[in-house]
A and B are shown apart, each in its own frame.
Chain A
């Protein structure tokens, strides 16, 4: 089932979301440098609104096909995590990383430190 979140397709990256039962899944693909920050921030504001409106039990963000994530885009992840961790019905936020891209675990570990009761980082094979 498609979510209300509109797919973002730009030169170098895509962001899209799907909903299934109690799970909202966000899939990122490509290189997210400073030129992608505005799109990602805007998309995550939509994700936040969708989560607060529909209260899914799980929010899964798959970054396994992300080849670079700049600090401007890390801030978008940080803002989303901070906004959701105080929500009345906060979801379990799982970040799916690639086993072949070691930097992803180091980068997304900051979210688990920010909200350890809500965020897990899991490697896909």
Chain B
């Protein structure tokens, strides 16, 4: 007999109006979710960092009055993984810029070397850091991917995790 395990074991999805005032609440949702499913402090901090960086990007660049965030535990053939996703609308120029920069980051073989390159670049941009997603790969060992969907961008960060504590699942 064959059967397939559920892909998404647990998730929380939040729709929000982007503003600086909602950052703390969104980060708290992600952090609490992670604490409920895993005990590894490094992984919890990595996703806390990801929640800050992704939601800050949404607040900075979203052109619509709605955006969404989802944190989930997925079941893959390689095992369980935590996935954090944000989706927001942005201007065509910003989408094109993000597509190019994220594509380069995802293709970089050495995340630390690429981050150091971004740091050098940031010295020429007085108002923006553009370091947030690069540090998620370089410092937090998270995989980052993105997709442009019409006028929106979806950014996902993920990390395979061991010893999940599924609690009441």
Contacts of A117 in B (CB 8 A): none
A-B pairs with CB below 8 Å: how many?
56
Contacts of A79 in B (CB 8 A): 123
Closest A-B pairs by Cβ, 4 of them:
A75-B129, A71-B132, A71-B131, A106-B139
Contacts of B23 in A (CB 8 A): 33-35
Question: Are B56 and A70 interface neighbours, CB within 8 A?
Answer: yes
Contacts of B48 in A (CB 8 A): 68
Give bound CA distance, A110 to B118, whole Å. Answer: 11
Question: Are B53 and A70 interface neighbours, CB within 8 A?
Answer: yes
B16 within 8 A of A: no
Question: Are B42 and A34 interface neighbours, CB within 8 A?
Answer: no
Instruction: Give how many B residues have a beta carbon under 8 Å from the other chain's beta carbons.
Output: 24
8 Å CB interface, B105-122 against A: 115-116, 119, 122
Contacts of A75 in B (CB 8 A): 122, 129, 131
Question: Are B129 and A71 interface neighbours, CB within 8 A?
Answer: yes
Give bound CA distance, A68 to B131, whole Å. Answer: 15
Give bound CA distance, A103 to B47, whole Å. Answer: 12
Contacts of A110 in B (CB 8 A): 115-116, 119, 138
Instruction: Give how many A residues have a beta carbon under 8 Å from the other chain's beta carbons.
Output: 20
Q: Give, as a whole number of angstroms, the nearest-CB distance from B68 to chain A.
A: 19
Residue among A70, A82, A107, A113 making CB contact with B52, cutoff 8 Å: A70
| Residues of chain B whose beta carbon lies under 8 Å from any beta carbon of chain A | 20, 23, 42, 45, 48-49, 52-53, 56, 59-60, 115-116, 119, 122-123, 129-132, 135, 138-140
Q: Give, as a whole number of angstroms, the nearest-CB distance from B105 to chain A.
A: 13
Q: Give, as a whole number of angstroms, the nearest-CB distance from A10 to chain B.
A: 13
Supply 11 A–B pairs (Cβ within 8 Å), ascending by A: A33-B23, A33-B52, A34-B56, A34-B60, A35-B20, A74-B135, A75-B129, A82-B123, A103-B45, A103-B140, A106-B139
Give bound CA distance, A103 to B141, whole Å. Answer: 11
Q: Give, as a whole number of angstroms, the nearest-CB distance from A12 to chain B.
A: 9
Contacts of B52 in A (CB 8 A): 33, 68, 70
Q: Give, as a whole number of angstroms, the nearest-CB distance from B24 to chain A.
A: 8
Give bound CA distance, A103 to B45, whole Å. Answer: 8
Binary contact track A21-43/B, C-beta < 8 Å → 1, others 0: 00000000000011101000000
